[in-house]
Chains A and B, each alone.
Chain A
Amino acid sequence: MTEDEEDEEPVVRSYALTRGRVAGEIDLTAIVAATGIEPSHRVNLSLEHRRLLALAGVARPLADVASDSNLPIGVVRVLISDLVEHQMIEIRPSMRGVTEGLLREVINGLRAL
């Protein structure tokens, strides 16, 4: 994304993207990832939903996705919640609890292969 575009005002106002809704807590460090499940034809995904889905094609923290989408975090939370509801995105807990010992074991295991 260029600086120019960031300077320009957004075409669609935020409230319109969420249809005025606000959503509960999703941790900024939580990993979001597309599940690859096709939405049912009844589901009406907006363009912004689809953009977020594309950004979450690779599992990454919510903060990264929000930053790339250039949308306020509040809006991203609502839209991600929508996608989670349709099972198109899954949220994994953040990697904060993983220890060094566990990682070494994983590395050794991989080498043994």
Chain B
Amino acid sequence: MAGSRSIRYKILTLLVIPLITLVALWVFAAAETTSESFDLLDVTTRYDAIIKPADQLTDALQQEHVLTAEAMALRSESSKAVLARQRGDVDNARDRLKELSSTSAAQDALTPVAKAKYDEMMATLTDLDDARADADDSIETGLIDLVRLNEQISEFADAEQALTSTLTLSDQSLNTQSQSLTLIALSEDYLTRERALAAGVRAVNRDFTPAELQTFWKLATTRRFLFDRGLAQLDPDLRAPFQKFETSTPYGDFQVYETRIMVGQVHADMTLKAWRAVSDQAVTNFRGTLDAVNKTINDRAAPSAVATFLRAGLAGLLGLIAVALSVFISIRTGRSLTRDLGALRATAQDLASVRLPRLMARLKQGEQVDVAAEAPPLQPMAGTEEVRDLALAFNSVQHTAVEAAVEQAVLRESVGGALRNLARRSQSLVQRQLRMLDEMQRGTDDPTRLEELFRLDHLTTRMRRHAEGLIVLSGGSPGRTWRRPVALEDVLQAAVAEVEDYTRVIVYPMPDVSVLGTVVADLIHLFAELVENAAVYSPPKTEVSVRGEIVARGFAVEVEDRGLGLSREEMERVNRRLASPPEFNPADTDRLGLVVAGRLAARHGVHIELRRSPFGGATAIVLLPSALLVGAPALEVAR
């Protein structure tokens, strides 16, 4: 079938698509699980490159905040010097943050939303320079605006908190704790803002202006709100250190001072030194507690990270094993199926194109055939059920075909036998009749009577020829033999006598060669058929000549007519028939005589070929092999 693909290809296609899908699914699932692991890696990168340096910068800024406030109030050289040193620290921290966070690894670890917040945060750092310029002006002029300073310096801390809040963790509970901690960290920052504001006011022992007090209120309430809010979401383990801090003396002292400021009871005893002592202690403890809790959270995240990595690795590995197993089983099954089908095909082809034809040929030659041995059943393969069924079906087809062939051979043999039998009887009667005619011819002296006997003899001879033709066609042999060799010229003359229009045929003198007595009858019949063919296919009254001569490999006889000849195609067809006479087919009676001639020729190794004659008719060239000839002395002479 044109354009069809092999079953191997189809099975491959059948297997490849699910396998590709399976691999794709595995890749997807593995990517999904490993992305969690990558998240964890991102968290680490973000913390090291951004959060940690930003926290340090915030710390430094908190310090600068309070020192700036003091310098603005005191306007002393020493306070300015301290501030300048702190600004140096802040600049260092700022440079460090810029350096660490600008790497591509750090940037890649940020989501787009976080990236925007990060950019906003970095933008506030340029505002820092404006804030410092304003502060320097303020120190020069003595016009202090602590509220404005508070807003300017705090920009970075607020921006940092905004960035941190966008950084979520995939572990839900851990994320909540982390976010709560961010709120508490902001609360700490608010505390430092209160510290700076109050320090700026109390450095010169003055009272809060209404605006400053209002800001302080805002800072204090927000700080408390953030602290409580953050604390509420923390789990007990993490909350405990803060509760401890909340009830500690430094924090209590700070809250007392804070409350006094808020309610306007700022007395002379609340000096800068005292305020700083109380608030610094609170900030230090607060910061310490925050760091401790942060560490706890990180420690808690570590096993979770290990578990995530383990899960991803395990899922990937199991998936890979499953995929490999699927591929293995698919290929194995596919190959076994292909192998089964391939073996079946090879066997079936062998059966169809080698074994059955060979068997048929042997049956046609009349050999006895053992069906079971000649057409052994295909080995039922232990593979697929359908393939095995197919093999069994082939077996039964083979069995039926062989049986049919044997039956046909038997039938042909029996029909042939019956025909042969009838023909033999007929031949034997005709033979007796001829013998009687012979005697009658010898006994008469009357020419008229002799002529009548001749005609009767001719008819009878032709009857015998037809009977013998039937015997040859049905696979037998005429059976008439001579004990001595017979001159070939007599053989040819006898052949001519068996033809209806025998008077047109002239046998020209030829070298004296005899043929074996055993083949005489067959040769007479063979030549009779050729001469008959020549006579029938040429116009009446034209001559049919028979010539013979010795050739290197035996003796050649030419039977030449003066008819119209045959077309090239027909000539080839006839020659093919002569070379390999077909099985006798009662339905095909076209030039049956040539079939008989071909049979007889094949029986004795005689070669017959039809050619165009120079006169336009056909010439049958018959080459008799030396084995059939007796005493051909001219052969030696010729050589």
Contacts and interface: CB of A to CB of B under 8 A. Distances in A.
A64 to B, nearest CB: 16
Contact of A44 (B435, B491, B494, B509): B509
B508 A44 contact: yes
A73 B445 CA distance: 7
A102 interface: no
A65 to B, nearest CB: 15
B496 A20 contact: no
Interface in B456-511: 457-458, 461, 480, 482-484, 486-487, 489-491, 493-494, 496-497, 502-503, 506-509
Contact of B497 (A15, A73, A75): A15
A13 B503 CA distance: 13
A5 B438 contact: no
B454 interface: yes
Interface string A1-45: 000110011111111111110111000000000000000000011
A15 B161 CA distance: 141
Contact of B507 (A15, A46, A72, A74): A46
B444 A74 contact: yes
A74 B461 CA distance: 19
Nearest to B440: A72
A35 B411 CA distance: 64
A47 interface: yes
Interface string B239-278: 0000000000000000000000000000000000000000
Contacts of B507: 46
Nearest to A73: B445
A44 B447 contact: no
Contacts, number: 83
Interface residues of A, number: 26
Contacts of A45: 509
Given A14-B438, A16-B496, A74-B447, A47 B490 contact: yes
Given A22-B451, A44-B509, A15 B457 contact: yes
Nearest to B439: A72
A109 B444 CA distance: 44
Nearest to B506: A44
B487 to A, nearest CB: 6
B520 interface: yes
Interface in B417-436: 431, 434-435
B494 A12 contact: yes
B450 A74 contact: yes
Nearest to B452: A22
B487 A14 contact: no
A44 B508 CA distance: 7
A22 B494 contact: no
Given A9-B434, A9-B438, A20-B451, A15 B458 contact: yes
Contact of B435 (A9, A14, A47): A9
A17 B461 CA distance: 14
B442 interface: yes
Contacts of A14: 438, 441, 454, 457
Contacts of B454: 14-15, 18, 20, 22
Q: Which residue, A11, A23, A47, has most C-beta atoms of chain B within 10 A?
A: A11
A45 B487 CA distance: 15
A11 B525 CA distance: 12
A43 to B, nearest CB: 10
Nearest to B456: A15
A90 B334 CA distance: 101
B447 A23 contact: yes
B448 interface: yes
Nearest to B489: A47
B490 A12 contact: yes
A12 B497 contact: yes
A46 B492 CA distance: 11
Interface in B502-542: 502-503, 506-509, 520, 524
Contacts of B508: 44
Nearest to A23: B447
Given A8-B482, A11-B482, A16-B502, A46 B493 contact: yes
A10 B455 CA distance: 17
Contacts of B503: 19-20
B442 A11 contact: no
A112 B455 CA distance: 59
Contacts of A22: 447-448, 450-451, 454
A47 B487 contact: yes
B441 A16 contact: no
Contacts of B441: 14, 72, 74-75
A11 B450 contact: no
B527 to A, nearest CB: 12
A11 B435 contact: no
Nearest to A10: B438
A1 B101 CA distance: 138
A104 B447 CA distance: 41
B490 A11 contact: yes
A9 B433 CA distance: 12
Contacts of A74: 441, 444-445, 447, 450
B438 A16 contact: no
28 contacts: A4-B483, A5-B484, A8-B483, A9-B434, A9-B435, A9-B438, A10-B438, A11-B486, A11-B494, A11-B520, A13-B434, A13-B457, A14-B441, A14-B454, A15-B458, A19-B503, A20-B451, A20-B503, A22-B447, A22-B450, A44-B506, A47-B487, A47-B490, A47-B493, A47-B509, A72-B438, A74-B444, A74-B445
Interface of A: 4-5, 8-20, 22-24, 44-47, 72-75
- Report the 3 A-B pairs with minimum CB-CB distance, sorted nearest first: A16-B497, A15-B454, A22-B447
Given A14-B454, A16-B493, A44-B509, 15 more contacts: A9-B434, A9-B438, A11-B482, A11-B490, A11-B494, A11-B520, A11-B524, A12-B490, A14-B438, A19-B503, A20-B503, A22-B450, A44-B506, A47-B490, A74-B450
